[in-house]
Amino acid sequence: MVRLFAGLVGAFFVMMLVLALGDGIYTAATTKSEETAEHAFHKKPKEVKFAHDGMFGKYDRAQLQRGFKVYKEVCAACHSMNLVAFRNFAEIGYNEDEVKAIAKGWSTETPSIDPDTGEAATRPSIPADKIPLVYPNEVAARAANNGALPPDLSLITKARHDGPAYVYSLLTGYQKQPAELKSKFPDVAAGSGSDPRDPKKHLGRCIIIPILPI
Ligand code: HEC
């Protein structure tokens, strides 16, 4: 009797499983997934070779310093790198005096407090400081950038798939917005989306000026 009962319970579970599977297959077969702009216009990052690729690769110091110069002179106007301290630049070959000078001359100052009034103030940075935020908060950042938020670039190559190639492709991949984007996805197109790799973003404010050959 117990056996029969156990057998019935088992059969019931098997039947439920079969039903669930059938329902899953039916749903998958009948619902059409909606096409997204990202899906339709996404491009893979370009194939790029870096000096640090592979097991025996090593960083090319001159290349890193040129990249840093571009960041300092162009990107730092909008993008912070708040997880990096000025003294970390010693690792790409700057000596102590150079690091001090870089910190002191940085375009955005480090927040501090006025010792006389107790009010918020700023002061020139020292090597131990982190690279300051460009905007005091997200609202201010968006207000200055047409609603878009310039992300902090400290970890950007880790945060994006195929990071270094992605950033390289972004910087070198601007193109005229495809007419099809406008007809198919007017909302995305209105955001200005000139970056072919990610039409979801409206990178119109990301002014990238290639000032040096990298
Ligand atoms: C005038 C301000 C401005 C400057 C200068 C600027 N950017 Fe941007 N950047 C933005 C904004 C705003 C966004 C966010 C765009 C969005 O989300 O639609 C952005 C986004 C990005 C992104 C992220 C894209 C993603 O996948 O989310 C990267 C990477 C980037 N910028 C790199 C750079 C680099 C490198 C430079 C310098 C060569 C630079 N930007 C200069 C404003 C700027």
Q: What is the pLDDT along the chain (214 residues), one digit of tens a residue?
A: 667 777 777 777 777 766 677 676 666 666 666 777 767 777 778 888 888 888 899 999 999 999 999 999 989 999 999 999 999 999 999 999 999 999 999 999 999 999 999 999 999 999 999 999 999 999 999 888 877 788 999 999 998 888 888 888 888 877 667 778 778 877 767 664 445 455 445 555 555 544 333 3
Residue 43 backbone dihedrals phi, psi, to 5 degrees: -120, 150
Residue 17 DSSP label? H
Q: How far is the CA of 93 from the centre of ligand 1 (A)?
A: 26
Split into its structural domains, the chain has a count of 2
Q: What is the DSSP letter of 130?
A: B
Residue 113: helix, strand or coil by DSSP?
A: strand
Instruction: Tell me the CA–centroid distance for residue 2 and ligand 1, in Å.
Output: 69
160 lies in some domain: yes
pTM to 2 decimals? 0.77
> 210: helix, coil or strand?
coil
Q: Which helix (H) or strand (E) holds 169?
A: helix 163-172
Residues 175 and 72 in one domain: yes
Adjacent-strand bridge partners of 193: none
Query: 57 in a domain, yes or no?
Result: yes
Q: Do 68 and 89 belong to one domain?
A: no
Indicate the residue type of 138. E
Residues in contact with ligand 1 by the CB-under-6-Å rule are 70, 74-75, 77-79, 145, 148-151, 156, 160, 167, 170-171, 198, 201-203, 205-208
- Ligand 1: atom nearest CA of 195 is 24
Tokens of 47: 């194939």
